[in-house]
Amino acid sequence: MLVIEAKYSANIKMIGIKDASLGVDIGTTSTKLVVAGIKNLNQCDGSSNSAVAQRDGTAQNSIFIDFNAEQKYQQPKISEDSFTSENLDTRNEQCPQSIISALASCIDKAMANYSNQLKDSLQKISICGQMHGVILWCRG
């Protein structure tokens, strides 16, 4: 049986995270990031904006997820001149630089809260994005 307990507070103080992962959701209006990892619940003061999942009520090596890093970003207005008559009704554009900036802001927030833990234990980064979209970015 998996029990999930949510704890909310502005103060984040967690130690002992191992096998950490970053989960990134790049949506149409915001970018969100979660920090997930394994931690010892005995080292938690219960004051984080997080969910903790335990198996069979065991407090050792439980799953920790922090939902604190979210950065909304504004898309710059697209000039009407940039649309052609062939695709005026079928195209919608987003600025890749705005998405990169929002992602960097989320990562900065996560590193501010977990710099020592992530530096030593970050194993993977998972990214998902909005449906039916592709981002083309040409530099130069």
What pLDDT sits at residue 1? 30
* 46 touches 66 (CB < 8 A): no
| Domain ranges within the chain, ordered by starting residue | 2-80+92-129
pLDDT digits (tens, 9 = 90+) for 82-133: 445 555 566 566 677 777 888 888 888 887 777 776 777 788 888 887 666 6
| pLDDT given at position 105 | 85
Measured distance CA(32)–CA(67) in Å, rounded: 8
- pLDDT digits over 5-62, tens only? 333 333 334 445 667 788 888 877 778 888 877 665 554 445 444 455 555 554 445 5
Strands (E), 27-138: 30-39, 50-55, 62-72, 122-129
pLDDT average, residue stretch 53-75: 56
Would you mind telling me the total number of residues written for the chain in this entry?
A: 140
